[in-house]
Amino acid sequence: MTAYIFRRFLQALFVLLLVSIIVFLALRLLPGDPIYLLLTSEEVQIKTEEEIRVLRHENGLDRSLVIQYYTWLTGVLRGDFGTSLRFHFSVGALMLERIPLTLHLGILAFILAHLAGIVAGVICAVRRGKWLDTAVTVFANIGITVPVFWLGIMMIYLFALYLNWLPVMGYTSPFDNFWLNTRQIIMPVICLAIMPMASTTRQTRSSMLEVMHQDYIRTAWSKGLKERVIIIRHALKNGLIPVLTLAGLHLSSIIGGSVLVETVFNIPGMGRLAVYSVLNRDYQVTQGVTVIVAAAIILVNLVVDISYGWLDPRVRYR
């Protein structure tokens, strides 16, 4: 097991390094002068050639790519992501303000999606072919096709504008006004959760159905165990292993979804920042957000893989 963890850890580190190279090169290989990474186009026109030359030198843009990469990487490791073009503010600090919001919504959505998805999937598998199974399966099949931003807009129309139950959008810190915060995040969390919830339901249902055919489940039935014990103690344990792999992928889709959902509900999180930076060509911010998100996803997938190896020993020797 230790060897497996070590191997996976090294692999994750290598992938992380590749990610940083991809993001770094992506911005440097842009056609045009990299000075545009530091200045808005208006500033470039105002400044004299001498000023630009000095700036170029100060930022090391006249040095080789390898050295530039090294400088950037060591900066990132120290938490220095450069300065935002538009905000004239440290990118690290900018992200630090927004990460908690995205985490808040994301974690809640993640929990909701998997709890509800697993319960729904198990119910489907147990009541296979009954009307409840059919209804939930249809719902799950629709759930993986819904554009989240559209769902958000429709929910705003129904619950906020028409029924007037919930605030339209925005985000208030839960420490300032917990009740308002809860009412504000209900819709975004549901939007983020819907896709992973539907996909967890589908996966749980099919892997539970598979497990329920196994010999050891028949043995458990013939021993006279209660249905609940068989399902929870025996079937679920093996049936959930494939769901775990999916959970790692869902993290990626929740973060991807938050790009859209935060835009719909006007929540100033990492997703909104990413969209903003792309629309305004604020490259340093785009770079910072992408690196942080990719690193988070790699780390979570490392944890998923390790727990996978722990749950299913066969994986360790692959």
Partner 1 sequence: MAETERPVTGILEIPPRINEFRRFTRVFLGRKVVLFGVVVIVIFLITAAFAPLIAPYDPYKPDLANFLASPSSAHLLGTDNFGRDTLSRIIYGTRISLMVGVIAVGIAATTGMILGLIAGYFGGWRYTIIMRLMDALMAFPMILLALLITSLLGGGLVNVMIALGIALMPGYARIMCGQVLSIRENDYVLAGKSMGASDLRMMLRHIFPNSLPPILVMITMMMGTTILAEAGLSYLGIGVELPTATWGGLINEGYQYLISNPILSFAPGIAIMVVVFSFNMVGDGLRDAIDPRLRGIL
- What gap in Å lies between CA 279 and CA 266, rounded to an integer? 15
For partner 1, the binding residue among 119, 256, 307, 316 (CB under 8 A) is 256
Q: Supply the DSSP string of 252-293, one letter for each residue.
A: HHHHHHHHHHHHHTT--SHHHHHHHHHHTT-HHHHHHHHHHH
Binding of residue 242 to partner 1 (CB under 8 A): yes
Residues 6+ apart with CB under 8 A from 28: 34, 65, 68
- What gap in Å lies between CA 218 and CA 213, rounded to an integer? 7
- What gap in Å lies between CA 220 and CA 231, rounded to an integer? 10
Which of these segments, 59-67, 117-125, 145-153, 227-235, binds partner 1 (CB under 8 A)?
145-153
Residue among 36 and 44 whose Cβ is closer to partner 1: 36
User: CB 123 → partner 1: shortest distance, Å?
Assistant: 20
Which of these segments, 49-57, 95-103, 119-127, 144-152, binds partner 1 (CB under 8 A)?
144-152
Burial classification of residue 215, based on how many CB atoms lie within 10 Å of its CB (0-12 exposed, 13-18 middle, 19 or more buried): exposed
User: CB 30 → partner 1: shortest distance, Å?
Assistant: 6
- What gap in Å lies between CA 180 and CA 110, rounded to an integer? 21
β partners of residue 290: none
Which of these segments, 98-106, 182-190, 280-288, 304-312, binds partner 1 (CB under 8 A)?
280-288
Binding of residue 13 to partner 1 (CB under 8 A): no
Binding of residue 263 to partner 1 (CB under 8 A): yes
Residue among 11 and 182 whose Cβ is closer to partner 1: 11
For partner 1, the binding residue among 84, 91, 286, 309 (CB under 8 A) is 286
Q: Which residue is associated with the tokens 């339209």?
A: 168
Name the amino acid, one letter, at 10: L
Structure tokens, 172: 């208030």
Which of these segments, 34-42, 88-96, 120-128, 278-286, binds partner 1 (CB under 8 A)?
278-286
Binding of residue 268 to partner 1 (CB under 8 A): no
Binding of residue 19 to partner 1 (CB under 8 A): yes
Binding of residue 293 to partner 1 (CB under 8 A): yes
